Chains A and B, each alone.
Chain A
């Protein structure tokens, strides 16, 4: 798949404006922590005040409210930029709006998985973001890069962790520090079952069609793999996926797996009746202990994922979102949209407003981490009560350096994910082996999607 990604043409007026913005950015950078890279500076005397209107789309719901609350700090910095902030069902509306080319926003929230599909519509921001790239988590910079050009402004990363029930492990005499590999995890689950009762199914195994591929990709990412390689070639029939599915099969064959859909009523029931003790998932699992679980609230803890082989990587990412600047933005103000996102994600005022305590999340936004590493220097959200006041920030940040960067989303990821989910469900039900599930999925993806 080829992409015609060229940097936006700059008029003399635009260039002057950008130089001016750079000067303003440089002034702010002086107040930032030392790790923050300084944007390109320009003589302050030539500074024109950035001015204009931008329309920004964000996913409706809590995140919209969080981002909405940051506009005040942006306007403090850029008083003459009017932000029209709109809550939108991004998944339903963005692609069609971009295709129609009418009323296109100047900036938009986008899930990382959709970036390759819509890449042609977005402004190449490689030159603008260049001063910051060294400080962005490599995984995140990779998924925002298409055909060698950066087209997305990273929002968050979602480190995968092993959530566990501290009280159940204690009762069973299992030391979480001793769980170094996924095989150790099965052994620990068997110990819990032996000590606490045969009805315990300590390891959560995902069943929902939307979440199976997400978790499988997390297992693959931990091993430095993804569904496709940089050339877009399918990598499913490889050792990382075989190893991950074989482990799932072993968990089920050992009778220690709780097969449930993520946070479905059955899943929550299994959790609150002490059946589940381990939940390998993205950081956003914390929403459960914080808001959904009644009986087990406060008993959950997080630790790094086990490794696939002794001494192997224990970091991975699961999901994530970014921002993009459509080329057809209605106000033709890509530079102003860039300033907005630069403020939001790449300046201390912005990321502190997003992740720190706010009206929507009094304890801060604890379901992900900023993708910009200088933001990791200082704890932004409070210790979650659902995790017994554990320092989740520190735990999650400690795994970021281990997240393999070599990750590629295919433009047809969504369609392939449906096929993979169906075959993994068959495997969970004992109808096929891991090898057969992989072979059937690879064959179907090849014939029905890639080679069509």
Chain B
């Protein structure tokens, strides 16, 4: 009669885990939820990206065809180009603007500063659909208030939302207006975290306001600025709602962002291509975030 192999005892497992199950039990819910709602969908989408699946019948394995299609598709590259263009119009200017406004709002002697702080946040709280309607009223080519003012000044009307050249800046302005309150909030929090003693010491050393801004405020806000730049960049790459409500990606797909283009595949149940598109965007997001975080770390190490 053959002896049964010895089963590892529960005690041995406990010892191997460091002497107690309790910590693992405590963190288990997170990992279970992460696997169920994070990891599994991610891997499922990855598998889907190698198939032709329109939501009906079984997915058909087609290798890298979806990726090859996207990487050779002019519309895919145009959507990335549109996102890059919007990034250039929004993120650098907005970051600078938020830093300047936050440093003004942080001044203790500014009158009505609570009013201003609230006022800047309102744009962030207003529903996007409502803002889009206002934008349509303001920027309408034939009846918009802006063109009315231009024509009153003897200038020609502009196709703010109807020409590719102007639709992108008009969309960028909407994003800028909508999200600047959030950017200011982050910068304001960063400024308020700077110890007052540094300013007092600088003042004793004869530094004026401008010097204090460049030598104290800005360097100590670097992490907040980098953080905002990263999340704003990711938001621009994934941007969908803003072009959806304002321009529907037009005219001639000139405001079709990377996120909007991805959504179109999902909307029309071209799920395999959509999954491949989402993974290409994921790679892009990871690469951009990595580069930005590396730049931040390099500066910190300096």
Please list the residues of chain A having a beta carbon within 8 angstroms of any beta carbon in chain B: 91, 95-96, 98-99, 117-121, 207-210, 258-260, 264-266, 269-270, 273, 411-412, 414-415, 418, 421-423, 425-426, 429, 448, 452
Contact = CB atoms under 8 A, between A and B. Distances in A.
A95 B269 contact: yes
B55 A98 contact: yes
Contact of B143 (A120, A266, A412, A418): A266
A264 B160 CA distance: 15
B210 interface: no
Contacts, number: 74
Contacts of B142: 258, 260, 266, 269-270
Contacts of A258: 142
Interface of B: 54-57, 69, 73, 75, 133, 136-137, 140-144, 162-163, 248-253, 264, 267-271
B129 to A, nearest CB: 13
A108 to B, nearest CB: 14
A121 B56 contact: yes
22 contacts: A95-B55, A95-B269, A98-B56, A99-B55, A120-B57, A209-B249, A265-B140, A266-B137, A273-B143, A414-B267, A415-B268, A415-B270, A418-B249, A418-B253, A418-B264, A421-B250, A422-B250, A422-B251, A422-B253, A429-B162, A429-B163, A429-B251
Given A209-B248, A266-B137, A269-B142, 15 more contacts: A95-B269, A117-B55, A118-B56, A119-B56, A120-B56, A207-B162, A258-B142, A259-B162, A260-B142, A266-B136, A269-B140, A415-B264, A421-B250, A422-B251, A423-B252
A270 B143 contact: yes
Which label, helix, strand, loop or mixed, suits the secondary structure of the A interface?
A: helix
Contacts of B248: 208-210
Given A265-B137, A270-B142, A118 B250 contact: no
Contacts of B140: 264-266, 269
Contacts of A423: 252
A425 B248 CA distance: 13
A415 B264 CA distance: 8
A249 B3 CA distance: 90
A150 to B, nearest CB: 18
6 A-B pairs with least C-beta separation: A266-B140, A269-B143, A414-B268, A99-B55, A209-B248, A422-B252
A121 B75 CA distance: 31
B54 A411 contact: yes
Nearest to B144: A266
B21 to A, nearest CB: 34
Contacts of A422: 250-253
A452 B136 contact: no
A96 B162 contact: no
Nearest to A120: B56
B268 A412 contact: yes
B73 A118 contact: no
A95 B54 CA distance: 9
Contacts of A207: 162
Nearest to A208: B248
A403 B162 CA distance: 34
A114 to B, nearest CB: 9
B252 A425 contact: yes
